[in-house]
Chain A
Amino acid sequence: MVVRKLSVILLVALSALLIAKTTLTVVEVFTSPERDAILKEIINRFEAQNPGVKINLISPPYETAYQKIYTMVSNKQPIDIVEVGDWSLSTLASMGGLENLEPYIAKWDGAKYMLPNLLEFARIYKGKAYLIPNAVYAKTLFIRKDVLKKYGIEHAPKTVFELYGMASYLTDPRKGQYGYDFRGKGYPTDFIDLFVTSFFNDIDPNNMYLTKDGRLIWDDPRAKLGLELYVKIFKNAAPKDAVNWGFSEQINSFVSGIAPLLYQDPDTLGVLRDNLPDNLYETDPLPLGPYGKAYPHYGFSGWGIVSYSKHKDLAWKFIKFFNSPEILSYWCKNYGVLPPDMRVYENDPFFKSDKYKGWIEMFNDPEHYQFTKQPIWSEAWGKWTDLQERTTQEILLGKKTIDQVLKEWSKFWKDAGLK
């Protein structure tokens, strides 16, 4: 009898405790069943470590997630943590929806292990960080070792000229063999910018489209040299059809061996893992320009704290937990993104394979690789990607000259107030 009474009391006390739990509401953007499973596992671990805390994960469908988050934040709905991507960062921050994380970062030892310049990328809005990146994207060079070997090539190209030479040497349309997986449509911006900027040695560390003395790169004769090489690669080392190639065509021609040299992001690794034997491909650092420089950039997403949250310290605790090397290692490995923390690459043998070689060498070589922001905070950015895609296609199809287009680009950015 006593035992029963006691157990009833215990049960009541337990349920009272359950009700008294603090709830953190987290809204994610990149919803997908696979990713949600990983995310839930991390949440379970956090809840196990923090009794009394419950995390409520909201997963809107990806297509409408950004709009949904904008509405939730502007209506001050009770949420604590939001997933912020480089694209939504400025909008959310300018709405006043995000908490400035600088005071937290100042007291956080994880900050000094971040990838080179990555925190600067997170500071695109008024120089303050409003999120901590937990997933990083960056372009690197993927090579098909077997295809190159067939033509007697044993190593990856070190410079853009070597890349062009190699790719055009391989190209033989009669055999259906090409060199470079060209990207013609669907946001080709990164690919164009990488080639153009590699001809510079004085890019502003805070803005890829400016030189250190504050001039637009499009007015510089070196931009023309870069674009000329880019067009030559299209003409002599890629199928004519590639002017209409997007992500899936690029991947398809890499997997089928039609073109063995590919610039891509880490999410490509997941696709390749399912479609290619492990020993046929690897990643290498991006080829350098004539000055021995290349200017890649990061894409990223991470958690931000909502400015009106009632549990900011707890929210920060969750972010800190999420960005610990162990969790990042689990998260990035399974989700297929680059870890933002240098310690993960050192600790986890998974990231020591030749699949990650390209990125790691670039991260460890700041002299040659300067990770630099594109002006994505500009309101004109979306329009720019459209203009750059169209006009580059016009060059490739011979409808406009490089000079004409460079003038157009320069005017575009002057009108947009970059200069």
Chain B
Amino acid sequence: MERCRSEIKPRHPARFFLYAILPVLVMVSFLVVYPTIRGVIMSFQNYNLYNLHDVHFVGFKNYRTVYTDSRFYEDLWNTVLWIAGSVSLQFVLGFILALLMWEPFKGRGIYAGLVFYPWALSGFAIGLVWSWLMNGTFGVINDVLMRMHVIEYPIHFLSDPKWAMLSVILVNVWYGIPFFAIMILAALQSVPKSVVEAAMIDGAGPMRRLFGIVIPYIRPTILSTLLLRVIWVMNFPDIIYGTTRGGPAGATETLSVYMVNVVFYENDYSKAATVGVTILAILIVYTLIYIKTTSYEELEL
């Protein structure tokens, strides 16, 4: 037995570890590092559909074009609204759902399945489905509201600039709640019941128990999920693209939608790369600040 084990032991541990992580290293550099570097390089070039062969460096020209356009700043503001609205509502509602499902009850499995299922759908499909539900002329939501006499005329959820951003945020909330619900529910399972019960016996009310015991216990999960979700939502054009394409008149255009639009309408890959690099830079700064202000050890990635 002893002999066998010593034979399996690698002769060069360092080399062995290298071989072991090599596949991952290759994958990561091929799928993440290379595209990132290529994207940064492209943003300094003049690579577009009309110019596939004479590609050369043009300095900061693309950045000047993007940053001198007021559209960029409108989209930046839209992005802030989109992230703040989506993530905060997703988080609060997801948290509440997780708390509701904490205690086992009859049919919890089915209930959890129903709650989690939006997370399994494609964002673009969700966008298309909701654009029909919220349609201002033949949408189901307006029809129901009008039959219930809540409203007299249909609400133009996606075509009125005052409503459009709120509408796409609500769709994203519907989509994103399960993520928080799943993650927080998993974390809640690790909160020792005995501590909560002890607090109850000591006379702590539900709010006190929540903020005094539950939240501190699951703080690492909360911090890491919030960090991740902000990054995802910022990079997530699917729902907006499926519902409004960034319209009407740019009212729902976030930076990631802008990037897609630049590719589809202008066929200017370098300009799209510039927007992409800008998003990346914003996210790096955000992540650094986030990690600095919370404490890094707590992040459970």
Contacts and interface: CB of A to CB of B under 8 A. Distances in A.
Interface of A: 70, 74, 91, 94-95, 173, 176, 178, 184-186, 239-245, 249, 252-253, 256, 258, 379, 382-383, 385-386, 389-391, 393-394, 396-397, 399
Interface string B17-50: 0000000000000000000000000000000011
A258 B137 contact: yes
A284 B77 CA distance: 46
B118 interface: no
Nearest to A383: B266
B220 to A, nearest CB: 41
Contacts of A242: 137, 159
Contact of B247 (A70, A74, A382, A390): A390
Given A184-B159, A379-B50, A176 B249 contact: no
Nearest to A385: B265
B159 A252 contact: no
Contact of A397 (B137, B138, B161): B161
Given A95-B53, A185-B244, A253-B138, 8 more contacts: A241-B159, A242-B159, A244-B247, A383-B266, A383-B268, A390-B247, A396-B249, A397-B161
A386 B52 contact: no
B159 A244 contact: yes
A38 to B, nearest CB: 28
B247 A243 contact: yes
B249 A390 contact: yes
Nearest to A258: B137
A173 B146 CA distance: 13
A77 to B, nearest CB: 15
Given A184-B248, A244-B248, A382 B159 contact: no
Nearest to A378: B50
A95 B52 contact: yes
A396 B249 CA distance: 9
B119 interface: no
Interface of B: 49-50, 52-53, 131, 135-138, 153-154, 156, 158-161, 164, 244-245, 247-250, 261, 264-268
Nearest to B142: A241
A390 B250 contact: yes
Nearest to B271: A383
A240 B264 CA distance: 26
Given A74-B52, A240-B160, A244-B158, A393 B137 contact: no
14 contacts: A74-B53, A95-B53, A178-B137, A239-B136, A240-B136, A242-B159, A243-B249, A244-B136, A244-B244, A244-B247, A252-B138, A383-B266, A393-B247, A399-B161
Nearest to B160: A240
Classify the secondary structure of B's interface with A: loop
A154 B82 CA distance: 49
Given A382-B267, A386-B266, A397-B249, A241 B136 contact: yes
A63 to B, nearest CB: 11
B160 A386 contact: no
Contacts of B158: 241, 244
Nearest to B245: A185
Contacts of B53: 74, 95
B49 A91 contact: yes
Which 4 A-B residue pairings sit nearest by Cβ, starting from the closest? Answer: A241-B136, A386-B265, A244-B159, A393-B249
A241 B153 CA distance: 12
Contact of A393 (B136, B154, B156, B248): B248
B244 A256 contact: no
B265 A186 contact: no
Given A185-B244, A241-B159, A253 B249 contact: no
B52 A241 contact: no
* A173, A244, A382, A396: most-surrounded residue (chain B CB, <10 A): A244
Contacts of A397: 161, 248-249
Given A240-B156, A240-B159, A240-B160, A176 B266 contact: no
Nearest to A387: B265
Nearest to B253: A390
A396 B251 CA distance: 13
A256 B138 contact: yes
A213 B251 CA distance: 39
